[in-house]
Amino acid sequence: MIVAVGCDHAGFALKSAVREFFEGKAEVLDCGLTETPADYPDVAFAAAKAVSEGRAEIGVLMCGTGIGMSVAANKIKGIRAAACNDAESARLGKAHNNLNVICLGGRVVSPDQAKAILDVWLATSFEGGRHLARVNKIAAAESSTLSTGGEEGEEGRVVVFNHPLVQHKIGMIRDKNTSVKEFRELVQEIAGLMVYEITRNLSLSETSVETPVASTTAYTLAGKKLAVVPVLRAGLGMVDGILQIIPNAKVGHIGLYRNPETLDPVEYYCKLPQDIGERDVFVLDPMLATGGSAAAAISLVKERGGQKVSLVCLIAAPEGIKKVHAAHPEADIFIAALDSHLNDHGYIVPGLGDAGDRLFGTK
């Protein structure tokens, strides 16, 4: 484990204790500074960026109170930092808020107290469950363009699934040790579970039935036609799970490759149901990373007459959501989990790696 450590002059007294604490436990990435008076935001940003970009797993920041460091660190995407000058705050900060950066006050705690606080923080695990749902809301708010509500027909919604079953299975597909077979099955299962929410706005017509006991009003789907359109190749992994629940949906396919010079997505295959304009269309792509191919796929469906097009993904980065909504502000985006950010290679962090390779065992 790598821990990013930084302080200003007022936190400097704690720094050697913190370094000592991590000896044999973690590698320390020293983000400065010394006892020379300096501005805490500079070091807070350096350490928080190291965590946000995945160069360090966690961070420890020290100033006079821990407050300035936490305020500054929280400006960096994906950072959950707080001043914890007692062990109970550190425990709950990890258990409930999944703090990835802890801030300590050199004018508030002694070096020994700081070590005891770090001990508790490291020994505590995030509880997940309802706390994960809350932390996900913070992540969703981090991108100012993320909408979370909205009526049908208005601005497109971003719907993040916080259902425990979905979160449980997402945890399993993130695991790099999950086999190809299990990964494939789990992707189908998650896609199937997502159908309940993506079809929530289908209209019903009223009818009546005779039960063995009495006649009663019943409801039947009003005949709205559906289509699913996987983006090749990873989108294929979601199709069967969805068709198990809505077997009459038609299936289109879109293939895109990336122009090596412009990096723009270029169509190499597109076959859609002829009556695409009469159908609610769900474009399927497990990973919404930069959003380039998802936005292009939605454009292709719209160019061929698609009127109501939504995007269904397993894991999304805020950058991808932003790009898709910039191009298609009306499109609903359904995602099982919203992650922190993209790394320099365009991979979602923490993500699950390359969904296509993991589905088809090509790596």
Torsion of CA 113, 117, 122, 126, to 10 degrees: 180
Given 21, 22, 40, 334, the residue binding ligand RB5 (CB under 6 A) = 40
Annotated active-site residue 270? The verdict is no
Residues 6+ apart with CB under 8 A from 11: 40, 61, 62, 63, 64, 66, 69, 104, 105, 106
Of the candidates 81, 53, 45, 83, the one whose C-alpha atom is nearest the C-alpha of residue 67 is: 83
30, 42, 131, 178: the active-site residue: 131
Counting contacts by CB under 6 A, is residue 6 touching ligand RB5?
A: no
- The residue within the footprint of ligand RB5, chosen from 67, 140, 193, 243 (CB under 6 A), is 67
Asked if 63 touches ligand RB5 (CB under 6 A), the answer is: yes
Distances (CA, A) of 312 to 7, 22, 145, 152: 43, 42, 18, 16
CA-CA-CA-CA torsion sign (66, 69, 75, 78): negative
* 68 interacts with ligand RB5 by CB under 6 A: yes
Give the span between the Cα atoms of 278 and 305, in whole angstroms. Answer: 9
Q: Is residue 8 part of the contact set for ligand RB5 (CB under 6 A)?
A: yes
Does residue 160 contact residue 197 with C-beta atoms inside 8 Å? no
Closest CA to 224 of 175, 155, 282: 282
**Least gap, CB of 351 to ligand RB5 (angstroms):** 34
- Which phi and psi angles does 276 have, rounded to 5°? -55, -30
DSSP SS3 for 44: helix
Q: Pick the closest to residue 169 from 196, 148, 187 (CA basis).
A: 187
Question: Around 171, how many Cα atoms within 13 Å sit in the side-chain half-sphere?
Answer: 10
The answer to whether residue 65 is catalytic is yes
Shortest separation between residue 65's beta carbon and ligand RB5, angstroms: 4
Q: Peptide bond preceding 288: is omega within 30 degrees of 0, i.e. cis?
A: no
Q: Which of these is catalytic: 65, 124, 328, 339?
A: 65
Active site residue 163: no
Question: Would you count residue 18 as binding ligand RB5 (CB under 6 A)?
Answer: no
Give the total of residues touching ligand RB5 (CB under 6 A).
8
Is residue 74 at the binding interface for ligand RB5, with CB under 6 A as the rule?
no
Task: Tell me: does residue 227 bind ligand RB5 (CB under 6 A).
Answer: no
**Least distance CB 63 / ligand RB5 (angstroms):** 3
Of the candidates 7, 31, 63, 84, the residue annotated as catalytic is 63
356 binds ligand RB5 (CB under 6 A): no
Active-site position among 7, 8, 103, 290: 8
For the CB of residue 90, give the shortest distance to ligand RB5 in the complex, in Å.
18
8 is catalytic: yes
Q: Which stretch binds ligand RB5 (CB under 6 A): 58-66, 111-119, 269-277, 285-293?
A: 58-66
Verify whether residue 103 is a known catalytic residue.
no
Q: Do 114 and 82 form a contact (C-beta atoms < 8 A)?
A: no
Q: Are 197 and 159 in contact (CB under 8 A)?
A: yes
| Contact stretch for ligand RB5 (CB under 6 A) within 60-68, 91-99, 227-235, 345-353 | 60-68
In this chain, which of 32, 41, 54, 64 binds ligand RB5, going by CB under 6 A? 64
- Do residues 145 and 321 make contact, with C-beta atoms less than 8 angstroms apart? yes
Instruction: Name the closest residue to ligand RB5 (Cβ).
Output: 68
The binder of ligand RB5 chosen from 52, 65, 89, 143 (CB under 6 A): 65
- Residue ranges binding ligand RB5 (CB under 6 A): 8, 10, 40, 63-65, 67-68
Catalytic residues: 8, 63, 65, 96, 131
